[in-house]
Amino acid sequence: MPLHIVRNDISQMKADAIVNSANPYPVIGGGAEYSIYEAAGKEKLLKARESIGALQEGEAAFTPAYGLNAKVVIHTVAPVWKDGKSGEKERLAACYENALAIAEDLKCESIAFPLLAAGTNGFPKDTALNTAISTVSAYLQEHDTEVWLTVYDRESYRLSEELYGDVRSYINENSVLMTMSRPRPNHMFDAMPSAAAGPMPKAKKPMVLPKKEDTFQQKLLQLIDESGETDPAVYRRANLDRKLFAKIRKDINYKPSRKTAAALALALRLSEKDAEDLLARAGLALSRSMTSDLILRYCFENHIYNIQEVNAILFAFDQETL
């Protein structure tokens, strides 16, 4: 199952487990925690939280979800940022790991996280985001849980300044190149031969159609075989559901969506040229006039193949994720 990045209020998410960025002690905090208690029913959830007692940074425990659209609430205490050298990132990763372990033990098929530590805990926004993505990505390589990372507002979500600026420059530069290379509109008579040019030449040879190449499905399976990877390793890296991949494998003429084709090209770590070849076999292309496709080109050129990192960039530029 994939990881989704969405802009939403965590208390409004529908998932088997909803993660609460909890206070270390059983009290109702502000922000997202307050909205979770309010939606669940303050008295009931607080009483259940009191039965757990104090939690240390990185620890997690669960309670019933009561009025939320979930089965359980998993409470975890995100660390406070000090200097980056005091184990904060490790404890933040532990928040995700322990919450995911609880969800697995409870046989939850889906779990929704807020972006932990990105608010009043003082974590650098890009560090909080990178920790979330790397930890959840590692988990999803071995598990089929559907994970939602919810972001309440743009202030809590940020790429590193260097990466954001580099992608922005790439988009701007390619937009300028597109404008400069745009052909001059032809007059309606430009395409008509003049009388002085004489009659149109006749074709001397019959047209020969080029040899039909492998379909998208055939080429995809060939690339997987050549990579030495297993099917599950590839479709998990592509952020795809097992059932969808099974459909592709069964149908030699399967026509994937642009998102699916691009995700599989990333999962196979293809070069930009090979990625375009794979997409072309499904009648698709990476446009140079669309921001989302320019971002994908940037990722292929710079060997950014982690689908969650790619989606983080797309989300930061308000583009649909893969």
* Rounded Cα distance, 52 and 44, in Å: 13
Query: What is the distance in angstroms between the CA of the first residue and the CA of the last residue of the chain?
Result: 13
17 is written with which tokens? 């487990």
For residue 300, is pLDDT > 70? yes
Question: Is 101 strand, coil or helix?
Answer: helix
> Which residues lie closer than 8 Å to 282 by C-beta, 6 or more apart?
216, 255, 256, 261
Backbone angles phi, psi at 21, to 5 degrees: -75, 95
Domain boundaries defined on the chain: 3-156, 161-181+213-316
Q: What is the pLDDT of residues 65-75, one digit of tens each?
A: 999 999 999 99
Q: How confident is the model at residue 171 (pLDDT cuts 50, 70, 90)?
A: confident
Topology of domain 3-156 in CATH is Leucine Aminopeptidase, subunit E; domain 1 (3.40.220)
* Rounded Cα distance, 285 and 278, in Å: 9
Give me the numbers of helices (H) and strands (E) for the chain, helices first please: 12, 6
77 is written with which tokens? 């205490």
* Rounded Cα distance, 148 and 46, in Å: 24
Percent of the chain residues topping a pLDDT of 70: 87
Q: Strands (DSSP E) along 157-308, which ranges?
A: none
For residue 268, is pLDDT > 80? yes
Of 44-53, 158-167, 172-181, 300-309, the range with the lowest mean pLDDT is 172-181
For residue 102, is pLDDT > 70? yes
Q: What is the pLDDT of residues 118-130, one digit of tens each?
A: 888 889 989 999 9
Percent of the chain residues topping a pLDDT of 90: 68
Residue 2: its pLDDT value, please?
Answer: 79
- Is the CB of residue 114 less than 8 Å from the CB of residue 150? yes
Of 138-147, 156-165, 196-205, 229-238, the range with the lowest mean pLDDT is 196-205
Q: What is the DSSP string of 103-150?
A: HHHTT-SEEEEE-TTSSTT---HHHHHHHHHHHHHHHHTT---EEEEE
For residue 205, is pLDDT > 70? no
In angstroms and rounded to an integer, the radius of gyration of the C-alpha atoms of the chain is 25
Residue 186: its pLDDT value, please?
Answer: 45
Q: Give the angle 213-271-174 at the CA atoms, nearest 5°.
A: 110
Q: How confident is the model at residue 191 (pLDDT cuts 50, 70, 90)?
A: very low
Q: How confident is the model at residue 209 (pLDDT cuts 50, 70, 90)?
A: low
For residue 195, is pLDDT > 50? no
Residue 187: its pLDDT value, please?
Answer: 40
- Is the CB of residue 38 less than 8 Å from the CB of residue 140? no
What is the pLDDT averaged over residues 158-180?
A: 78
Average pLDDT score, the chain? 88
Of 92-96, 152-156, 246-250, 316-320, the range with the lowest mean pLDDT is 152-156
What is the pLDDT averaged over residues 94-117?
A: 96
